[in-house]
Chains A and B, each alone.
Chain A
C-alpha cells in the first residue's frame, strides 16, 4: 500500500511541479500588469525542449557534461521518496532529514560539475557563484536542522512532522521559509543563472533535452522544498491534510512570486553576507530552542 502511495506522490510531483511554475508566472504577470501566459505554458515549454535536438560543445568533457543533467534530475526525484507530498506516506528511517539535504547537495554538485565540464567561461563564473551561495546557504540550513532536531529530539521525519507549537519552532520555520526562497534560484537570488549578466551561467551550453531536464529539476526542487515546509506544519493522518497541502502550495507560490516580482537581483557578495547575518539570527533561534521555549 505504502509503495502505491509513494508512486502516487512521485507522479503528482512530476505532473504538478511545472504547473506550479506556470501558476507563479501568471501571478507575476498580473502583479506587473501583464496578461501572462496560460498556466500550462511551462509544460508546453518543457515538451518543446524535449523535442528539440541536443548539441554538445566541442570543448566539453562529454561524458560528465551529458551525465550531469540526469543525475541532477534523479537526485531531486529520489528525495520525493522520503518527503511526502500529496499523500502522507514515504520511506522513513532515522536520519532521513540528512539524506534529503545531501540528495539536494548531490543535485547542486552534479549541476555544477556538468556546467564546469562544458568548457564555457560563463558557465564557470555561474557555477562558482552557485557553489559560493550553496556553501553560505548551507550554514543557515545547518542551524535550522540543528534547531529542528533539538525541538523534536530526533532527525527522523516521522517524529518531526508536524513540529510542536513553540516559539522556537515558529522562528525556525520562518528561517526555513527564507532558505527555501534562496535555494529555489529565483530573483533576487538567481545569481548563478543571472540571464542579463552571465547569460544563464551554468545553463549556457545546455540545450534541448539536457536543458529540459535541468529546468524540470529546478521545478521539482521547488515543489520538494514547499512540501518539506508544509509537512512541518500540517497534521499527519488527518483528512484535512490533503486540502491543507494544496492550499499551502498555492499560498507559498503566491507569496514567493510576489517577492520575486518586486525585487532586483542581489550581487553574490550581498547574498552571501545576508546568509551570514541570517545564520546569526538562526544561532539565536537555536539557543531559544535549547532553553525549551
Chain B
C-alpha cells in the first residue's frame, strides 16, 4: 500500500524526461492520482498503523540501520500525509493549465521531472521510520525543490534565489547530520529506528543534560532554516515567489511544515520534556511572527507578501509548540494539550489558506502576467471566482470568525494568555493578528477592488485552475464552522506521540472540563441566520448611478497605490524596521567575512601540505566536539 504512490511518482518522473507537450498533462494527472492515494493512506493511517519493511543490504557496517528500509505511518505522519495529499492534489490539477504559460519560454522537463520527485521525497520524509533514511530523503527534498525554484532559468533572480535557498538549507542540514550522528553514536548504539530511539533516548538525555542542549541547539538551527524561523528565514522571501505558483503553494503549504513534523517527533517523543526548551522555541516563534508580519506590510509584490506571511505563520506554529512543551513539562496537561493541538490545527489551516492564496496569486499572474500590487487593480468584476477564493483565503488567514484560521488562533490565545510565563507571547500574537488583517486587506483590495492604473485585460481562469482554489476555500469554511473533524484527527495524531488528549474529542469540537465549551456552531449560526434575516427584511436593491467624482464628469484618476497603504502606521513603528534592517546588515557583513575566509581557504588549498594540516585540525576539532558533549 505504501509503495503505490512511490511507484506512480517514479513513473511520472520517468515520463517527465520526455520533451513532448502531452507530458505535462500525463505527469500532472499521475501526480494527482498519487496525491489521492496519499490522502487514502492518510485516512487509513489514522485508523491503524501501516508498516512496510524491506531488507536492502546485509553489511555489518557502522550504519547498519541503513540495511533495513522501514516505512511506517502512525497517526502523526498520517495527519501530515493528509495535508500533503490534499494540497498536492490541488497543486497538480492547477498545474495542468497554469504551466502551459511556460511552454514557449522554458524547458518544461525541469518541471515535469522534478515536480513528481519533489512530491515523492516529501512523501518519503513523512513515512520513513529511521533517522538515517530521513537524512537522505531530507537532503533529496531540498535538492529537488531547489530545481523547481530555479524553474525560470532565463531569470537571473530565480537562479540566484534557488542558489541562496540551497546554500542555506544545506548548511542547516549539516547541523541535522551532526545531531543524528551524535544520537546514534553516543546514545542508541548505532540504532536509528524511531521506535528504538523513543525507548532509549529520553532516559539517556535525562542523564546527560549537556548532550540534550547540544542536540536542541543543532536541531533548532537545522530545522529552523528549513522552516524559515526568523534569524534563518532570509531564503524564503526570495525563493517562494520565484517558483511557479503551484510549487510555491506546495513549498509554503507543506514543505516548510515538515520541519515542524520532525520537531514534534524530536521534542515530544525522542527528548525528555524540559520547560526551558519550550520557552526558547516559543521566543523564536514570537520573533518570527512579529518581524515577518511587520515586513509583510511593506511588500508591493503579491507573492512576496504571501511569502513573508508564510514565515509569520511558522511563528504562529512554533509559539504554541514551545508553549505546549513548557506546559507539559510543568505538568499542566490541559493547556499543554490545547497548545499542541493548536500547532497541528494551524499547520493544517495554513496549508489550506496559504495554498489557496498562492493559487489565487498564480491565477492573477496567469491572466495579467504581473505580481506588482501597484499596477494591479479592479480584477473583481473580471475574475469573480478567483476573487471569492482570495477573499475567503484572506479572511481565513486574518483569523476572522467563521473560518478555520480563527479556531487555531483562538486555541493559541486561550492556552498562552492566562499563564504568566507565556502571556506576553499571546499578547504579541493578538497584535500581529491585527497586522495580518491589515496586510491581507492590502493584498485583497490592491489586486481586486482598487481602481487599476490603466485598464487591465483579464478574464476568469479555466475550470482546472479555479476548481482547486474553490476546493481549498470550501475546506477553509468547513473546518472553521465544524472544527470537530480536524480536531478528532489531531487528538489521534497527538496521542501517537504521547500527549494525552481526553479533553479534545467531544463535540462541540473542544470541550474543556468544568469551564464550558467553545461552541462555534451557535455563534456562527446566529451570525449567518441574522445576516440572512437582515438581507430579507432590508432588501438592498438600488438604482445604479455613477461613482461620485467631486462633481466632475471625467475620471478622477485618483487611486491609492500599494506602497501608500498604512504609511502612518509604518512610520510610527519605524523602530521595528530600523532594528530589522540593522540585523540584516549585520548578517550580510557576517556572510561577507565568511566569503573572505572561503577565498583564503581556497588559495590555501592549492598548497597540499597546508591543506592537509588544516583538514587534520578540523578533524581534531570535530572529534573533540563529538567526544566532548557527553560531559
**Inside 8 A of B569's CB, which chain A residues have their CB?**
132, 135-136, 272
Query: A114: shortest Cβ distance to chain B, in Å?
Result: 10
Assess whether B435 is interfacial by the CB under 8 Å rule.
yes
**Residues of chain A from 102 to 120 with CB closer than 8 A to chain B in the complex:** 102-103, 105-106, 109, 112-113, 116-120
Given known A53-B543, A58-B545, A134-B437, contact A93–B400 (CB-CB < 8 A):
no
Inter-chain CA distance A81–B437, complex, in Å, is 24
Query: B82: shortest Cβ distance to chain A, in Å?
Result: 26
Q: Verify B431–A139 contact, CB threshold 8 A.
A: yes
26 A/B residue pairs, CB under 8 Å, sorted by A? A53-B542, A57-B545, A58-B546, A59-B546, A61-B387, A64-B391, A73-B534, A78-B523, A78-B526, A98-B409, A98-B410, A98-B414, A105-B437, A106-B400, A109-B395, A109-B400, A113-B391, A120-B547, A121-B556, A141-B430, A142-B430, A154-B418, A155-B414, A207-B542, A269-B571, A290-B420
Given known A61-B381, A119-B451, contact A95–B414 (CB-CB < 8 A):
yes
Given known A124-B559, A146-B423, contact A209–B538 (CB-CB < 8 A):
yes
Given known A70-B535, A136-B572, A149-B423, contact A116–B450 (CB-CB < 8 A):
yes
Give 1 or 0 for each of A13-54: 1 = CB within 8 Å of chain B CB: 000000000000000000000000000000000000010011
Q: Verify A105–B427 contact, CB threshold 8 A.
A: no
Give 1 or 0 for each of B379-408: 1 = CB within 8 Å of chain A CB: 011000001000100010011110000100
Q: How many residues of A contact B (CB 8 A)?
A: 83
Q: How many residues of B contact A (CB 8 A)?
A: 74
**Inside 8 A of A121's CB, which chain B residues have their CB?**
451, 556, 558-560
Which secondary structure dominates chain A's binding surface? helix
Give 1 or 0 for each of B420-451: 1 = CB within 8 Å of chain A CB: 10011011101101110110010011001111
Given known A150-B418, A269-B568, contact A78–B527 (CB-CB < 8 A):
yes
Given known A131-B437, A135-B435, A135-B438, contact A57–B546 (CB-CB < 8 A):
yes
**Residues of chain B from 556 to 573 with CB closer than 8 A to chain A in the complex:** 556, 558-560, 564-566, 568-569, 571-573
Given known A95-B413, A290-B423, contact A78–B572 (CB-CB < 8 A):
no
Q: Verify B548–A120 contact, CB threshold 8 A.
A: yes
Give 1 or 0 for each of A48-89: 1 = CB within 8 Å of chain B CB: 001001111111110010100111011101100110000000
Most central of A95, A112, A113 by chain B CB within 10 Å: A95
Inter-chain CA distance A210–B535, complex, in Å, is 11
Assess whether A226 is interfacial by the CB under 8 Å rule.
no
Inter-chain CA distance A113–B450, complex, in Å, is 11
Assess whether A92 is interfacial by the CB under 8 Å rule.
yes
**Inside 8 A of A134's CB, which chain B residues have their CB?**
434, 437-438
Assess whether A178 is interfacial by the CB under 8 Å rule.
no
Q: Verify A95–B410 contact, CB threshold 8 A.
A: yes
**Inside 8 A of B539's CB, which chain A residues have their CB?**
209
Contact of A125 among B399, B431, B560 (CB under 8 A): B560
Q: Verify B516–A94 contact, CB threshold 8 A.
A: yes
Give 1 or 0 for each of B507-528: 1 = CB within 8 Å of chain A CB: 0000010011111001100110
- Of all chain A residues, the one with the shortest Cβ separation from B555 is A59
- Of all chain A residues, the one with the shortest Cβ separation from B542 is A54
- Of all chain A residues, the one with the shortest Cβ separation from B517 is A93
Given known A154-B418, A205-B548, A290-B423, contact A116–B449 (CB-CB < 8 A):
yes
Inter-chain CA distance A94–B517, complex, in Å, is 6
- Of all chain B residues, the one with the shortest Cβ separation from A276 is B572
Given known A93-B516, A95-B414, contact A116–B445 (CB-CB < 8 A):
yes
Given known A94-B414, A94-B516, A150-B418, contact A60–B445 (CB-CB < 8 A):
no
- Of all chain A residues, the one with the shortest Cβ separation from B543 is A55
Query: A24: shortest Cβ distance to chain B, in Å?
Result: 25
Q: Verify A91–B523 contact, CB threshold 8 A.
A: yes
Q: Verify B399–A102 contact, CB threshold 8 A.
A: yes
**8 shortest interchain CB distances as A-B pairs:** A54-B542, A138-B434, A142-B430, A146-B427, A121-B558, A57-B547, A95-B414, A132-B569
Apart from A105-B437, A109-B398, A209-B539, what 16 extra A-B contacts exist at CB < 8 Å?
A54-B542, A55-B543, A57-B546, A57-B547, A61-B448, A61-B449, A70-B538, A98-B413, A121-B559, A124-B445, A128-B565, A139-B434, A146-B427, A153-B418, A156-B516, A209-B538
Q: Verify B531–A71 contact, CB threshold 8 A.
A: yes
